[in-house]
Amino acid sequence: MTTSKRYDRIAFVASTSAEAQAALDQLTQLYGNADPATADIIVALGGDGLMLKTLHDFMRTGKPIYGMHRGTVGFLMNEFSTLDLHARLAAARETLINPLLMRATDVHGGVHIHHAINEVSLFRQTHQLARLRILIDERERMAELAADGILVATPAGSTAYNLSAQGPILPINAALLALTPISAFRPRRWRGALLPNTAIVAIEVLEGEKRPVAAVADNEEARDVRRVEIISDRSISMRMMFDPGHSLEERILSEQFGY
């Protein structure tokens, strides 16, 4: 999706690294630094970790977010330049991202609700494998998975931890979620499933006292969980901006061919 709007009021946010802070100083001198509450656009300076934090921080504002790479991993970022930023922002392409909503219930009955942009993961907390029951739309699909864990990834997160766990890469506009086991022991040959993004995924922990499990939504963790429900929250649409020819769609497509 192309945009033609001019973004005059720019709010910059930056990671704490020296590289990102130097970029913040340069850009602030050239373009000012608007209050995020009144800005037309948020420009994030750092790596993918900073971009995820920025997306979480401004998740419900509807403001477009444009990242420039001044960190380690920069899959979600554009190239850094101080030149003609207003023109770059006006020419940028917009990608809409829907987060996951995790509702995790722990052994004490506590409920933990968090959003995730990349994935929701369940992990074993001790040396013993987790035993998990998988339900899709409240229908049992797997009575028992013995594994280090399992994750549900969005298209935007499919090239992150999901890919490292041998999960599929999803086109950014695909109405799909990836359900991917982490080091599955039984059934050993199960590689996961592709689900419609309307699905309600429920994962129940078996033998939780003996084999405790943690649930993590991006970087928010709940420990000793008993049941975790995951849905795509289509009530929230985050607007990520990319330079022409460097869109998230193009990056995900290129990743599938090993670029």
Residue 122 is labelled as binding a ligand: no
Residue that has been written with the tokens 């608007």 in this structure: 34
Q: Decide if pLDDT at 258 tops 70.
A: no
Please check if 2 is assigned to a binding site. no
Task: Judge whether 79 is annotated as a binding position.
Answer: no
Give residue 4's pLDDT.
Answer: 55
pLDDT digits (tens, 9 = 90+) for 180-190: 999 999 998 89
Tokens of 170: 């999803």
- Rounded CA-CA distance 68/46 in Å is 7
Q: What is the DSSP letter of 78?
A: B
User: Would you call 88 helix, strand, or coil by DSSP?
Assistant: helix
Rounded Cα distance between 46 and 161, Å, is 19
Beta strands per DSSP E along 109-175: 111-116, 119-124, 130-136, 139-153
On whether the 10-98+236-255 domain is CATH 3.30.420.40, my answer is: no
Which position has the token pair 């928010």? 220
Over residues 53-63, the pLDDT tens digits come to 999 999 999 99
Contact 218, 162 (CB under 8 A): no
- Residues 243/80, Cβ–Cβ less than 8 Å: no
Q: What is residue 6's predicted lDDT score, i.e. its pLDDT? A: 81
33 belongs to an annotated ligand binding site: no
Candidate ranges 119-123, 159-163, 172-176, 240-244; pick with highest mean pLDDT:
119-123
Between CA 197 and CA 236, with CA 122 as vertex, the angle to 5 degrees is 35
- Which class is domain 100-232? mainly beta
Is 160 annotated in some ligand binding site?
yes
Q: What value does the mean pLDDT take over residues 22-47?
A: 97
- pLDDT of 205 over the 50 cut: yes
Q: How far apart are CA 244 and CA 224, in angstroms?
A: 45
Model pLDDT for residues 61-107, shown as the tens digit of each residue = 999 999 999 988 778 899 999 999 999 999 999 989 999 999 999 99
Give the predicted TM-score (pTM) of the model.
0.86
**Is 28 part of any known ligand binding site?**
no
Nearest to 27 by CA among 91, 75, 86, 76: 86
Three-state SS at 53:
helix
Q: What is the pLDDT of residue 2?
A: 47
Same-fold call for 10-98+236-255 versus 100-232: no
Q: Pick the more confident residue, 189 or 229.
A: 229
- Tell me whether residue 48 is one of the annotated catalytic residues: yes
**Which pLDDT score, from 0 to 100, does residue 84 have?**
94
Catalytic residue among 8, 25, 40, 48: 48
Determine which of 5-9, 22-26, 208-212 has the lowest per-residue pLDDT on average: 5-9
Please compute the mean of the pLDDT values over residues 12-22 and round it to a whole number. 96
pLDDT at 3 over 50: no
What are the extents of the domains in the chain? 10-98+236-255, 100-232
**CA–CA separation, 103 and 84 (whole Å):** 43
Q: Given a cut of 60, is residue 1 above it in pLDDT?
A: no
Mean pLDDT computed over every residue of the chain: 92
Beta bridge partners of 227: 105, 204
